[in-house]
Structure 1
Amino acid sequence: MVKIHFLVLVFILGPCVQGLKLLLVFPLPARSHYILGNELGKGLALQGHEVTMLSSFEEKNPPKGYEEILLHELTDRQRLFSGSGQPNMFQMENASPYFQAIFLTKIGDMFSDAFFNHSTVQTLLNSERKFDVVIVEQFWNDAMKYLAHKFDAHLVAFSTIGPNRWVNNLVGNPENPSYIPDLLLSFHSDMTFLERSYNLVFGLLNDLMLYHYFYPQQDAILHKYFPEAPELDEIQYNVSLVLTNGHESIHPAVPHVPNMIDIGGFHVNPPEKLPKDLKEFLDGATDGVIYFSLGSNLKPSQMPQEKKDILLKVLGARKERVLWKWDEDQLEGQPSNVKTSKWFPQQAILAHPNCKLFISHGGLLSLTETVYLGVPVLAFPIFGDQKLNAARIRDKKFGLALTFSQITEENLIEALDELLSNPSYRENARKCSDILHDRPMKPIQMADYWIRYVVKHKGAPHLRVAAIKLPLYKYYMLDLLAVGLICLGWVGLVIGYLTIKVVRLCCCKGRSKRDKKKND
């Protein structure tokens, strides 16, 4: 009887917990982006889904239900950045945001074309495989949303950097330039008049570039390989759900339409066991440890020699021990208190009680991890969203930021002393950590819930705001503004005409009176 009841329960509940077939598209050959896609894929596989990942990197220990389709050749596209390989990203620090925006559109077009030209992608698209949901990383690759159309699947966009212009327009999410700085700028939410002016103009120019250059280019790339495909507008605005790698503990509070869900922090896992040498290094650091990593895209060996010398001198003179992620076998002039490696278990190090400070480039993955684990941060932002993240670090008061090209011994020493001696930074980091942890469910479970939700409700069209159907002139009410200006113009003309008539009439009456007096 018990077995019968169990079988009946399984039969009833089975459809509720049945896994979906998910295709994740994260082909960008940038390891930080892959880390997020990989953690999302593995997490969803552990929730019972059948996950297929299209990417340029490989997971060594995939869980059950997790399959990777590798696009190794796309990593070679990085050589197109320059003649001999990946460029020195430190040289991007002073690049204008306009240049960065144009640079990203060019890279997006290049990778989108390379993606569709890839034989493995072509094989997949010509296969008979079926998927319930296609999750596409939203990063200058809008043509790739075609995969959802091709497989007749629900489309989910994933933003690696929280709400921003690139995803807001897909779901009609408002982005008020008076207090929401553009992703490529370094402004605080409380902007000055000039900053708001710059933010507004930069945003308008970005929109012009998106709608009149980038989207047409993506549409051309799509139809180059699939002439029968619908127009890009029809595909990319059919987004059922946006998952963003953001949270109010790190990002400022901004509007979210109903089908935009924050899952920031989902990639942070319980700290793994430290290797013996690292554990001894951290355990024996009676004065604490400074962890220094510039992420996966910046190569620390490419930094200017002058800045490297300053870092070596200042860090070498500290009483704290230093773990420095270095991309070469040797660090010339390495101080005795510094330990280097090409790779460190970052989350496990930040979780250690002796880790007192994280020196970072300000990338969002590292920023999320340091907030999650409650460690203050000193940021050296270089490019992309790192400068905006640095502004948020200062806003939340759990760290400081220095412009890398302007680092001196004096300001570096001052920043380190302030961060390591003033307990308010760690207190604020822990407050932000509490906010990040205080959620009704784990972020991966939230992603699982909403993905199942849009499938259950056939794309959940009831969550989509009407703004996505409006052309820009209607959304910004430019037609009403034009009519208002025309009306004001006519009113001004009428008032001007009447004023002139009244003045002339008064002048005529005055002249008549003077003439009458003369005659008398």
Structure 2
Amino acid sequence: MIYAIDTIETDNMTNLMQPLTPYIIHHLFRRPHKKSELYDMGRMSFLGQLSWVHTIGLTYTENVLKVKEVQELLKSNETFDLVLQEHFMNEAMMIFAHKFKCPLVLLAPGPPTIFNNHLFANPSPTAYVPNLLANFGSYMTFWERLKNTYYDIAGELFVHNVILPKQADILKRTIPGAPDLKDILYNASLMLLTSHISLRDPAPLLPNIKEIGGYHVGTGKPLPTDLQKFLDDATDGVIVFSMGSNLKSADFPEDKKAAVIKVFSKMKQKILWKFEEDLPEKPKNVKIMEWIPQRDVLAHPNVIAFITHVGLLGTIEAVYHGVPLLGLPIFWDQEKNIEDAVRKGFGLKVAFQDLTEETFGLAINELVSNPKYRENAKLRSRILHDQPTKQMDDAVFWIEYVIRYKGAPHLKSAGLHLRWYQRYLVDVLLLFVLISLSIFKITRENCFS
């Protein structure tokens, strides 16, 4: 039997866990956001964004561990073959694998980053692997490499000196008798990444880190009759517009909302807009819905463009179906996601603070009229689909592999047994410096004696 914990995106995790286990606990804590917080987050500094998300991580981790049923489970005599845990600023959750003395598999909501590389000693050379919050690609200029160095060093320091100590405090406070976090932190056997090489630049991955981006898309479901007809009747194509589950189009400043409406009113295409309240001034070609079955809508052949905040899962869904993007990034990895799409030729970007009738209109008309964006989106889609097994099957194989080989210790890097300064050979370099200085001093003294 497999025990799985989900603490962030329940709907997406359900697809992965359902074929694996009859016993699953879902507990989701979502901090209520003020709309100004989310729309202003992109203006924060690098460390400001880390701190903001870290605070949310502390809140949901502590609240989940305090749940009565979770506490009872941790005190029970249940047995499991494996723990599957979504990992993002919730390291205290690793107590479950320790409690049940079974292998741990992490599901990371994104590519390899400063938040998870250290758990596997996965190399991430700063010279050509951009930080998650960087808005540049692997081919960096000198100044971009300098900026990336700051991001990586500051990020590593934040992880080890802020995030992990706070998570250790939560573990001690909520689970009586729990071991020190550092004693259970590096025991994960496998990490599954929800990213995919079709979207991002290549980066090193150890054998126990696997990309399964696109696993959540799968076979589509039938659409509601009215929505199906709306899409079928769109002879000039449909543009889908959604800002995801946390951001809301209804929260747009009035000037930006008016700019979008004016642009849409001049277009011959139909617009399907995730808009969370009534919109009396909407043009005739616009259909609003409080919630859109996005994965299934993007699969429709008449969809020709996707306007999005560029969250990773929505970006993957668009690539899966070969739909080009117009990105309106707000915060976190959204900036990087759209910059990657622009560099790879299947997307365009309008910075949210720069959104006007002119900038928005030029971008969306360029996206739908120039065939190169759709051609490049189709190319990325072929890359995503062109693999020996489906992403879900790959995930199941490696999870079962870890169970078969009792944690698969043969996949773990020796780097896990080294301190950071040993991995980066800082101690060796210091020795060379000391020897060089000693030789220089001796030589200098002999020359002047």
TM-score range, shorter chain: over 0.9
Task: Quote the Cα distance in structure 1 between the aligned partners of 2:187 and 2:379.
Answer: 38
What residue ranges of structure 1 are gaps of 5+ in the alignment?
Answer: 1-20, 57-73, 502-520
Q: Is the 8 A contact 1:293 1:359 kept in 2?
A: yes
Q: What CA deviation, in whole Å up to 9, does each residue of 1:420-449 have, x standing for no partner?
A: 111111111111111111111111111111
State the match for 1:34 in structure 2.
10
State the match for 2:374 in structure 1.
426
Amino acid at match of 1:272: K
Instruction: Quote the offset at 1:51 in angstroms.
Output: 4.0
State the match for 1:417 in structure 2.
365
Instruction: Quote the offset at 1:391 in angstroms.
Output: 1.3
Any idea what SS the aligned residue of 1:434 has?
helix
Q: What CA deviation, in whole Å up to 9, does each residue of 1:436-472 have, x standing for no partner?
A: 1111111111111111111111110000010111111
Instruction: Quote the offset at 1:496 in angstroms.
Output: 4.1
Instruction: Quote the offset at 1:499 in angstroms.
Output: 5.4
Amino acid at match of 1:197: L
Task: Quote the Cα distance in structure 2 between the aligned partners of 1:51 and 1:424.
Answer: 47
Aligned positions, number = 449
Q: Is the 8 A contact 2:137 2:201 kept in 1?
A: no
Task: Quote the Cα distance in structure 1 between the aligned partners of 2:141 and 2:295.
Answer: 37
Q: Does 1:360 align with 2:332?
A: no
Instruction: Quote the offset at 1:88 in angstroms.
Output: 4.2
Q: Is the 8 A contact 2:42 2:332 kept in 1?
A: no
Q: What CA deviation, in whole Å up to 9, does each residue of 1:282-329 have, x standing for no partner?
A: 12111111100010010111121111111111111111110000111x
State the match for 1:212 in structure 2.
161
Q: Is the 8 A contact 2:35 2:247 kept in 1?
A: no
Any idea what SS the aligned residue of 1:339 has?
strand
Q: Is the 8 A contact 1:24 1:37 kept in 2?
A: no
Task: Quote the Cα distance in structure 2 between the aligned partners of 1:491 and 1:201.
Answer: 33
State the match for 1:378 in structure 2.
326
Q: 1:304 aligns with which of 253, 266, 276?
A: 253
Q: Which has the higher helix share?
A: 1
Task: Quote the Cα distance in structure 1 between the aligned partners of 2:161 and 2:39.
Answer: 31
Amino acid at match of 1:352: H
Q: Is the 8 A contact 1:88 1:302 kept in 2?
A: no
Instruction: Quote the offset at 1:105 in angstroms.
Output: 1.9
Amino acid at match of 2:76: S
Any idea what SS the aligned residue of 1:273 has?
coil
* Cα pair distance change 1:481/1:157, threshold 3 Å: same
Any idea what SS the aligned residue of 1:451 has?
helix
Q: 1:202 aligns with which of 143, 151, 171?
A: 151
Structure 1 ranges of 4+ moved more than 6 A: none
State the match for 1:153 in structure 2.
102
Task: Quote the Cα distance in structure 2 between the aligned partners of 1:488 and 1:396.
Answer: 47
What residue ranges of structure 2 are gaps of 5+ in the alignment?
Answer: none
- After alignment, is 371-380 or 156-165 more displaced? 156-165
* Cα pair distance change 1:500/1:415, threshold 3 Å: farther
Task: Quote the Cα distance in structure 1 between the aligned partners of 2:440 and 2:154.
Answer: 32
Q: 2:422 aligns with which of 445, 455, 474?
A: 474
Task: Quote the Cα distance in structure 1 between the aligned partners of 2:325 and 2:179.
Answer: 47
State the match for 1:69 in structure 2.
none
Name the TM-score, length of structure 2 as normaliser: 0.96
Q: What CA deviation, in whole Å up to 9, does each residue of 1:18-54 have, x standing for no partner?
A: xxx12221123xxxx2222111112x34xxx434132
Instruction: Quote the offset at 1:219 in angstroms.
Output: 1.3
Task: Quote the Cα distance in structure 2 between the aligned partners of 1:500 and 1:205.
Answer: 45
Q: 1:53 aligns with which of 25, 36, 39?
A: 25
